[in-house]
Structure 1
Amino acid sequence: MASHGPEHALLTDLYQLTMLQCYHERGMTHSASFEFFVRKLPPQRNFLVAAGLEQVLDYLEDLHFSSEELEWLRACGRFRPDFVDWLASLRFTGDVDAMCEGTVFFADEPILRITAPLPQAQLVETRIINLLQFQTMVASKAARCSLAAQGRLLVDFGLRRAHGAEAGLLSARASHLAGFDGTATVLAGMKWDIPLYGTMAHSFIQAHDDETDAFEDFARSQPAANTMLIDTYDTEAAAHKVVQLARALAPEGITIQAVRIDSGDLAEHARRVRAILDDAGLASLRIFVSGNLDEHAVRELVSTRAPIDGFGVGTRMNTSADYPYLDCAYKLQEYAGHARRKRSEGKATWPGRKQVYRSLDADGRFAGDVLTVVSDTAIGEPLLAPVMTGGMRLAAHLPLAALREHARAQFTSLPDDLRALDTPTAYPVVVADALRALADSVDREFGAPFPPPNSGELQ
C-alpha cells in the first residue's frame, strides 16, 4: 500500500466517517456553516496572525476518496457498502469565507467559515484545523521575532527539528508570510519563491585539515553567496583567518559576504569579531548569528546593541516552543437555516454566521473590533470575504509576497502595547447587540441560557 500523504481523504479522525455514515442514513444533508476560531490567546500573546488558507483551499478543491481508500473502507468492516459507494462521488461543493492570510486577529473571531452540505462541512473539520492551527501558530510566533528584530535579517533555520517534513515546509511559508526574510529549506524556495539562505556545517570545517582551507574552498565554490561559520574551534582566531583570506581573494574578485557565529556569548563574540573586521577595513562584511534563538533572545541581542546584522531562528519558532498549540475549534454555527450554539461549560460559542469589523484610530492603528452576525453591519472594515463558491476558488491564490506585504501593513497598524512580548494587553473586541440577541434566541429555542463564551474575554 502506498504511504498516506496529506492529500488523502482518510487523513482524518474516525469519528468524521462514523458521523458521515449516520448523516447519510438519516438524510441529514441540509446546508451547514462551521467556523474556525481560537477560544483564548496563549499567555503573553497579544494577537495572532491568520495563516494556512491557501493549503485549505487546495485541500477542498482536491477532496475525494481514492479507489485504494474506498477499497480499504469496504474491507475494514466498520462501514456499510452503500455508504462507501456514496463516498466515491463525494466532492466539496460548498462556500468559504475567510480572513486574508497575514491578518491580525483575536480570541473568538472566526478566520474561516465553511458553508456546505452537512456531510461535506463535517468531513473537512480535522484537516482544516490541522492546517490553520499550525501555520497560524507559527506565523504568530514568527511575527513576534520579526517585531523583536527591528528590521534585521531573519532566516528560518528550523526544518531539521520540525515535527515532520510537512511541518518544516509549512513553517518556512508561515514564517516568511509573517516577516522572515528567507529560509534554509530549499523546497520552500522552489514552491513559493522564498529567498534561500545558507552557510555551512561544522562538519565541513572538521572535514578539512585546516580551517583556512575550508573557508577558501567554500568561497571559491560559492563566490557570490558565502557565509563563513567561524565558531567551530576559536571564534576570534577564525575571524582573523577570514580577514587574511578576504585580502587574498580580493584581487580575484571574490568577496566574503558574512560570518556566522553559532555558539557562546553571541553578543560578546559579535563585538570582538566586528572589531577585528573593522580594523581590517572589512566594515561591509556582515555578522550573522544563530543557536537556540527566539523572540526574547533576539530582543535581548538587539537591546544590547550587539553588532549583529541577522539572525537564524529555527526550532523555537518552528515548534512555537513556549506555546506549541492554539486553543482553537471548528464549530457548527448554523444548520438547515437555524443558528446553533455549543453551550458546554467553559466552551460555549456564539451562534450563527458571523462577521468581524475593525476600526482604526486617527493614526491608522487598530482601535477595536466588533463581532456580529453577517446580517448586521458595524463601523469599520469587514475582515471575512468570500474566497470559494460552489467548491471553486473565486480567484487565483495570492502570491506569498503579496500576503507578506499585507501582514507587514497589519503589524504597522498594531498599537504599541500589542507589540509587547511579555505584557498581556487586552484588545477591545465588542460583541454586537444583534449577536447577543441571537444567542438569547437560540438559548430559548434549545434550552436554558448559559454564560457567554470565554467569560471576561469579550465585552
Structure 2
Amino acid sequence: MYRRTPSLHPGLMTDMYHPDSAYVSWRTGQNGLTTFDLYTRKAPFGGAYLLVAGLESALEFANTFHYTAEELNFLAHIRDYDSAFLDELANLRFTGEILAVPEGSIVFPNEPILRVTAPFREAILLEAGLLQAIGLSTLIATKASRIVYAANQGQQRRVSEFAFRRAQEPMTVARASYIGGCSSTSLLNAAYEYRLPATGTVPHALIEMYATEKEAFEAVAQAYNRYTLLLDTYDVRRAIHTAIEVGLRSQESLGHTLAAVRLDSGDLVADSNYIREQLDQAGLHYVRILASGDLDEWKIQEILEAGAAIDSFGVGTTLGSGAGSVERGIEGGSLGTVYKETWYVDEEGNEHPKIKIAGEKSTWPGKKEIYRHPEWSKDIVQLASEPRPDSYHRLLKPVMRNGEIIPGSLPPLTEIRELAQYNLTLLPERYRQLTATEPYPVHFSAELQALRKKATHQQLGRTHEDQP
C-alpha cells in the first residue's frame, strides 16, 4: 500500500484562504451539504487523455485530516479568529462521501475525477490537498505512459524511471511512473516501499576514478555476475571495443555476463548502430543497449524513427518534473486540476445548482456521473439522477462514505498498474498519439445542458439585481 510521508502538521496542508473561507462560512452560519468536482480542463503534453493516479494519497489525506493543538495555536497567532471557531476546528473531521474514477483509469478533459460531497467547511478545507494528490500523480502517470508508448513503437522496450535526483516529489514520481508503465525505479526507497524492481548502472565518476577505462570496466566486471558498462565517459566508439574485450574475458574466466551497455550522451542514433554492429560481430547478440540523458517521449520517438539500435531507456528529469517541451511549445510541469462547487443544499433542505460563469472556464452544475461506451466511441457526462445509458460503463465509484474509506477501494499497486496497462490497450490509437489531432468525444446530456443554462440565467439575474 502507498504510504505518504506523514505530515507533522496535517491541518496546515491547506492554502491560507481555506481556513479563511471556513471562518466566513462559520460566522454567517452557512455550512450546507456541498458537492465539488475535481477535474482538469485540458489533457497535458498536447495529448488527448489523462491516466488517473494518486487516489490512495488523496483518500489518506481526507481520512486523516485534522487540526492539532499546535496548529490551532498557530492559526490564532496569524489570524484573529474567534475562539469558538477554533474550537470547532479542533473537532473537525471529514464526514462526507467521495466518488472517484479508480487509479489506472483513463479520463478526458472536463470529466470529474473526484466528486466530493460534505458540509461546506469540510469540503473546502480538503481542496488543496486533494488537488495536489491527484494532480501530481496523474501528471506523472500520464507522462510515463507517453514515454513508454514512444519507446514501444515497433517492439517492446523497457523504460526505467531515473528521476530521484531531480523529481519534485520522488516517491510519488516512482509510484506514478510504475502505474504509467515504467518497468523499474532507480530510487531504492521507492523499490522498498512499493516492492518495485530496482535498476541502475554506474556513474561516470566511477569510471574516472581508475587510471584507464579498461581498469574501470574490469573492476565492474569482477564485482557482479551480470553488469552494465557506461560507454560515454571519454570516447564511445573506443569504449565499446574495450567493453567487448572485458566482457568476453570476464565471461570466460569468471562466468560473469555483460548484460548491457549504456549511452548517456552523444549521437544516440549513429553510436547505437555502431555499438550494435560491434557487439553482434563479437557474438554478443544478447547484450542490450540502454540510452539515457535528457530524454522525453518526443526525443525517444525521433531517435527510434531515425533507426537507433536501442533496447531500453532510462528517463529522469523530464519524467520526474512532468516536463513539456520548450522546442515544441508544449506546456508541462503541472496538470492544472481544479476543484469547483457544483451543488449546494442549504440548512432548510433547498437544493441549489452552483456555477461559475467565466467563458471557457465556466463550470457545469449538478451532481454528475460519467458513462463510457464499451467500444470507447464516446463518454457521456450527465446528472446523477438520470438513468444509466444502455450498455455504458459507469466510471465514478464510491470510495469514501461517512468519512471512512470503503473496503476494497484501494487495490494493491500491482493491480492498479495492470488496470492502467489494460485501459491503455483499449484506448483507440488515434487518442494514444503523442500529439492529439482530435479530442476524444465527451458529450454532456441534454438535462445537464438545460440545468447549466438555467443556472446561468438565474445567476446572471441575481447579478443584475445586485447592481445599483
Q: How high is the TM-score relative to the length of structure 1? A: 0.91
CA–CA distance in structure 1, aligned partners of residues 407 and 123 of structure 2: 21
The correspondence for 2:360, drawn from 346, 351, 374, is 346
RMSD: 2.0
CA distance in 2, matches of 1:136, 1:423: 18
Deviations 1:258-283 (A, max 9, x none): 11100101111111111111111111
**Partner in structure 2 of residue 388 of structure 1:** 400
AA at the equivalent of 2:380? V
Aligned counterpart, 1:456: none
Q: Contact conserved, 2:365 with 2:451, CA < 8 A, in 1? A: yes
Shift in Å at residue 235 of structure 1? 1.1
Query: Corresponding residue for 2:374?
Result: 360
The answer on whether the counterparts of 2:148 and 2:158 sit within 8 Å (CA) in structure 1 is no
Q: Quick one: percent identity of the two aligned structures?
A: 35
Please give the alpha-carbon distance, in whole angstroms, between the structure 1 residues aligned to 2:416 and 2:70. Answer: 37
Aligned-partner Cα distance in 2 for 1:423–1:351 = 28
Name stretches of at least 5 consecutive residues in structure 1 with no aligned partner: 451-459
The whole-number CA distance in structure 2 between the counterparts of 1:449 and 1:288 is 63
> Residue 440 of structure 1 contacts residue 449 of structure 1 at CA under 8 Å; is this kept in 2?
no
Give the aligned residue type for 2:273. Answer: R
Matched residue count: 440
The aligned counterpart of 1:417 is 430
Q: Cα gap change, 1:176/1:6 in structure 2, threshold over 3 Å: closer, same or farther?
A: farther
Letter in 1 for 2:164: L
What's 1:378 paired with?
389
CA contact (8 A) 1:356 1:370 kept: yes
Q: How far, CA to CA, are the matches of 2:45 and 2:260 in structure 1?
A: 37
The CA distance in 2 between the partners of 1:181 and 1:62, in whole Å, is 32
The aligned amino acid for 2:362 is A
For residues 171-209 of structure 1, give each alpha carbon's deviation from its aligned partner in whole angstroms, at most 9, with x where no partner exists.
111111011111111221122122111111111111122
Q: Name the structure 1 match of 2:219.
A: 217
Equivalent pair of 1:7/1:59 in contact (CA under 8 Å): no
Kept in 2, the 8 Å contact 1:182–1:195? The answer is yes
- Alpha-carbon distance between aligned partners in 2 of 1:78 and 1:217, rounded to the nearest angstrom: 66
Q: What letter corresponds to residue 233 of structure 1 in structure 2?
A: Y
Specify the alignment match of 1:428 in structure 2.
441
Cα 1:85–1:350 change in 2 (3 A) is same
Q: Which position in structure 1 is the counterpart of 2:327?
A: none
Q: CA deviation at 1:215?
A: 2.1
- 1:355–1:424 CA distance, 2 compared to 1 (3 A): same
Partner of 1:229: 230
Contact 1:200 1:228 in 2 (8 A): yes
**TM-score, normalised on structure 2?**
0.89
1:272-300 alpha-carbon deviations (Å, 9 max, x no partner): 11111111111111110001111111112
Q: Report the equivalent of 1:369.
A: 379
Cα offset, 1:340, TM superposition:
1.2
1:453 aligned partner: none
Structure 1 segment 25-424 matched on structure 2, within 5 A: 25-42=27-44, 44-150=46-152, 151-163=156-168, 167-224=169-226, 226-250=227-251, 251-322=253-324, 323-336=332-345, 337-361=351-375, 366-376=376-386, 377-379=388-390, 380-396=392-408, 397-424=410-437
2:328 corresponding residue in structure 1: none
Aligned to 1:199, what secondary structure does the other structure show?
Answer: coil
Query: Contact 1:41 / 1:327 at 8 angstroms: preserved in 2?
Result: no
Instruction: Please report how far the alpha carbon of residue 162 of structure 1 lies from its aligned counterpart in structure 2 after TM superposition.
Output: 2.1
Mapped partners of 2:427, 2:166: distance in 1: 31
Q: Distance in 2 between matches of 1:160 and 1:447?
A: 51
2:383 and 2:8 map into 1 onto residues whose CA distance is 34
Q: Which amino acid aligns with 1:353?
A: K
- Equivalent residues of 1:43, 1:424 under 8 A apart: no
Q: In the aligned structure 2, how far is the partner of 1:413 from the partner of 1:5?
A: 38
1:350-388 deviation line (CA, Å, top 9, x unaligned): 101111111133xxxx21110101111224101100011
| Structure 1 residues 244 and 175: alpha-carbon distance in aligned structure 2, compared to 1, 3 A threshold | same
Separation of aligned partners in 2, 1:307 and 1:360: 38
| Alignment CA distance shift 1:182-1:43 (3 Å) | closer
Structure 2 alignment gaps of length 5 or more: 325-331, 346-350, 464-468
Distance of 2:266 and 2:112 partners within structure 1 = 44
